[in-house]
Amino acid sequence: MASPNNIKLSVTDAPVFSFNPKVETAEKASELLQKDEQEHNIYFNDMGFHNHIDHHVLSIYALGASPENVEHAYASGSSYQRPALPVDEDVVKRLRNKDEFRKLTGKREHYPNFLHFFKQELESKGAGSVVHEYLFAGGEFADDMLARLFGGLIHPLIHLGFGIEFNQPSIIAQGLAQTATHNKQLETFFQPAEKMARDAGKPSNKTLVQLQDELRNDSDIKRSVEWADSSKFFDGVMHRCPEKMIKYASQFNVDPNQFDEKFAELINSTVYFTGTAQNPKKAIRFDFFYIHALNSNMFLPAFFAQPWMTKENKVRLLEWKARNDLLTYVSRGCTEPHLEDITSYPARLDWKGVFNETVALKQDDGHAAKFVRHIAYGEKVCKPYEEKDGFRIKGDMWLKLGNMLVDSIQAPGPNWVRSAGFEEAWEEIPARR
Lowest mean pLDDT among 12-16, 224-228, 312-316: 12-16
Predicted pLDDT of residue 203: 87
Over residues 65-88, the mean pLDDT reads 98
pLDDT digits (tens, 9 = 90+) for 22-72: 999 999 999 999 999 999 999 999 999 999 999 999 999 999 999 999 999
Mean pLDDT (whole number) for 148-158: 98
**How far is it, in rounded angstroms, from Cα 22 to Cα 10?**
9
- Predicted local distance difference test score (pLDDT) of residue 14: 87
Domain ranges across the chain: 1-183, 187-426
Which residues on adjacent β-strands are paired with residue 6? 3
pLDDT digits 0-9 by tens, 182-193: 999 999 999 999
Q: Residue 80: which of 113, 50, 115, 112 has the closest Cα?
A: 50
Residue 94: count of CB within 10 angstroms of its CB: 17
Phi/psi of residue 17, nearest 5 degrees:
-145, 135
pLDDT at position 27:
99
Per-residue confidence at 411, pLDDT binned at 50, 70, 90?
very high
Instruction: Report the alpha-carbon distance of residue 262 to residue 102 in Å, rounded.
Output: 34
User: What residues does 3 pair with on adjacent strands?
Assistant: 6
Euclidean distance between CA atoms 338 and 150, whole angstroms? 28
Q: Beta partners for 369?
A: none
Around Cβ 98, how many Cβ atoms within 10 Å?
11
CA distances from 142 to 59, 184, 405 (A): 29, 12, 37
Q: How far is CA 311 from the centre of its chain?
A: 22
Amino acid at 380: K
Band (pLDDT 50/70/90 cuts) for residue 325 is: very high
Count of alpha carbons within 13 Å of 249, Cβ hemisphere only? 32
Whether residue 367 has pLDDT greater than 90:
yes
Q: Is the pLDDT of residue 201 over 90?
A: no
Residue 10 burial by Cβ neighbours in a 10 Å radius (0-12, 13-18, 19+): middle
Q: What is the pLDDT at residue 195?
A: 98
Mean pLDDT, residues 112-136: 99
Output DSSP code: residue 53.
H
CA 176 to chain centre: 15
The CA-based dihedral angle spanning residues 54, 60, 63, 66, taken in that order and rounded to the nearest 10 degrees: -120
On the question of pLDDT at 207 being above 90, the answer is: yes
What phi and psi, each to the nearest 5 degrees, are found at residue 18?
-150, 165
Please say whether the beta carbons of 398 and 274 come within 8 A: no
Q: What 3-state DSSP class applies to 193?
A: helix
For residue 70, what are the CA distances in angstroms to 24, 372, 405? 11, 16, 20
Torsion (CA) 100, 106, 108, 112 in degrees, nearest 10: 40
Give pLDDT, residue 395: 98
Q: Cα separation of 61 and 25, whole Å?
A: 7
Closest C-alpha to 335, from 199, 244, 212, 193: 212
Alpha-carbon gap, residue 23 to 11, rounded angstroms: 6
**pLDDT(362) > 90:** yes
Q: What is the average pLDDT across 15-25?
A: 98
Which tens digits make up the pLDDT trace of 253-310?
A: 999 999 999 999 999 999 999 999 999 999 999 999 999 999 999 999 999 999 999 9
- Do 79 and 44 form a contact (C-beta atoms < 8 A)? no
